[in-house]
Amino acid sequence: TKFSHVIIRRPGKSLCNGITSAPELGQPIYERAIEEHYDYEHALEQCGVDVTVLPALEEYPDSCFVEDPAVITRCGAIITNPGADSRNGEKNEIEPVVRRFFDDEHVKHIVSPGTLDGGDVMMVGDHFYVGRSARTNEEGIRQFIEILEGWGLEGSEVPLEEVLHLKTGVNYIEDNNMLVSGEFIDKPDFAKYNKIVVPEDEAYGANCIWVNGTVIVAEGYPTVLKAVQDLGYKTLVVDTSEYRKVDGGLSCLSLRF
Ligand code: CIR
């Protein structure tokens, strides 16, 4: 795998009204969120990808989490049908951007009653694990796997019990290495990988991203950082404190392809 493009979208001031399961963390501070977003952009640039930066969309508080309304594979793009009502329209905003990179034949859609959030999709080579969550339903997964198979790729369902999205708790960093936390530590689906077990108090840190040999790790998760470095990866650390307040992390903030 090698990525050449990344798409990100600046957060709007409405980010403070993003969906959250952790109101006790407080609302994101816009000024800090923007600074962290610049840091994230610069980290990506250091990984040798071309970064497309989209403008903020105030009408969609969670729209900086571009990973959810689309999934981009090496064979084509899938515009999803996001499972949260307040986010569903983001699919119409991301589609024209995705079409800059893919022609008609290579852009497919998840349609109602199927729902799917890209945060539930984890790519491991040509296999895609899809979390069945509050956002992604059985029909969405069925359509998704059908599209993949049409391209010679494959997918499998992973039922989720605790986390919002699949990649909230498990992330593949290539070379057979997988960061696992909580409910994913013992899932049989991931038994064949070299699992790096993330301790409960650093669970949020499991959401790392691999970009062309470098692993970007969230700031404040020393056990995760050391484990990734011990595997021989080059690492970059980015603070995502404001995104964490609305359940977002490193992977949700970009589309990498
Ligand atoms: C949401 O609940 O949809 C946003 N507040 C957070 C989305 C995080 N995205 C992701 O994990 N892929």
246 lines ligand 1 (CB under 6 A): yes
Torsion of CA 173, 174, 176, 181, to 10 degrees: 10
Of all residues in the chain, the percent with pLDDT exceeding 70 is 100
pLDDT reported for residue 49: 98
Q: Is 106 a catalytic residue?
A: no
pTM exceeds cut of 0.90: yes
Instruction: Enter the ipTM.
Output: 0.97
The tens digit of pLDDT for each residue in 21-79 reads: 999 999 999 999 999 999 999 999 999 999 999 999 999 999 999 999 999 999 999 99
User: Is residue 211 scored above 80 in pLDDT?
Assistant: yes
**Residue 214 φ/ψ, nearest 5 degrees:** -100, 140
The secondary structure of residue 220, as a DSSP letter, is: T
pLDDT reported for residue 117: 98
205 lines ligand 1 (CB under 6 A): no
Ligand 1: atom nearest CA of 164 is 11
Query: How far apart are the CA of 1 and the centre of ligand 1, in A?
Result: 25
The secondary structure of residue 110, as a DSSP letter, is: -
Q: Is 109 a catalytic residue?
A: no
The tens digit of pLDDT for each residue in 125-178 reads: 999 999 999 999 999 999 999 999 999 999 999 999 888 999 999 999 999 999
The tens digit of pLDDT for each residue in 14-23 reads: 999 999 999 9
User: Is residue 195 scored above 80 in pLDDT?
Assistant: yes
The burial class, CB within 10 Å (0-12 / 13-18 / 19+), for 50 is exposed
pLDDT reported for residue 91: 98
Query: How far apart are the CA of 124 and the centre of ligand 1, in A?
Result: 21
pLDDT reported for residue 229: 98
